Amino acid sequence: MKSSTSTSKLAWVEAHSDGHLEMRLNLRLYPLAALFRVCYRFTDKCYLFIAEDEKNEVLTIHFTKKEAETDLSVLAGEFSNELIYQKIRFDVAAETQGLRELIAAQAFAEADILDRSETNAHYYDDPRRIST
């Protein structure tokens, strides 16, 4: 996949003479799950390929056009913004996980969805009239 490189419109994106773009991502900055969510969102717009370095610290994302009129620089910019958005979502989810679990537990503890008015009845009483 080696080809000569040229300057991209985006400083953090490397353009290649064959038309594909490369973006390198530090795995310490972005959770892998967030990256794959972003990649999934862009699979309808371009082809993506992910490669990692030998140290498993940096991922290289390769962008290739699906359609001739696709501007990969624009997509790479949108991809970058979406990556930040997903990273923030992961951070907020981690920060609020305990609170969300507490709220859900409290909601289910207070909401007794079973009708317990007939559960303490004696079986001879047949409150639900099953025998009739």
Model confidence pLDDT, tens digit, residues 8-20: 688 899 999 898 9
- DSSP one-letter string for 14-28: EEETTS-EEEEEETT
- pLDDT tens, 92-120? 999 999 999 988 888 877 665 555 665 66
Query: Which tokens belong to 49?
Result: 């390929």
pLDDT tier at 1, thresholds 50, 70, 90: very low
> What is this structure's pTM?
0.72
Q: What angle do CA 32, 72, 39 make, to 5 degrees?
A: 20
Beta strand 58-65 with 21-26: parallel, antiparallel or unpaired?
antiparallel
Tell whether domain 5-110 is in CATH 3.30.1360. yes
**Helix locations, 9-130, DSSP H:** 32-42, 72-110
